[in-house]
Amino acid sequence: MNRKECNIVEDLLPIYVNDMCSEDSREFVKEHLAQCSECNEKKRELEKKGEDTRYTIEDKGQNEFVKSVAKKINSGYRKALIRGIVISLSLCMVSGLSYFVLFKFRIDRVPNSQILVERYKTEEGNLVFQISANDGYIGGMLDVYRDNKTNSCYLSIRRPIVKNKSQKSARDMYFYYVDEQSIEKIYIGEPKDNKLIWESGDKVDYISNEDLNRLYEEANDSFYKATDKYYE
Q: Per-residue confidence at 230, pLDDT binned at 50, 70, 90? A: very low
Side chain identity, residue 127: L
Answer yes or no: are the C-beta atoms of 154 and 109 closer than 8 Å: no
pLDDT digits (tens, 9 = 90+) for 65-114: 556 655 665 666 677 778 888 888 888 887 777 666 655 666 788 899 98
Residue 13 CA to residue 44 CA, distance in Å, equals: 10
* Maximum Cα interatomic distance, the chain, rounded to a whole number of Å: 140
Number of H helices, E strands in the chain: 4, 11
72 phi and psi, to 5 degrees? Answer: -65, -40
pLDDT digits (tens, 9 = 90+) for 172-216: 788 898 888 889 999 999 989 999 999 998 999 999 989 988 888
Distance, C-alpha 133 to centroid of its chain = 37
Neighbours of 43 (CB within 10 A): 19
pLDDT digits (tens, 9 = 90+) for 14-56: 887 777 777 877 888 888 888 888 888 888 888 777 655 554 5
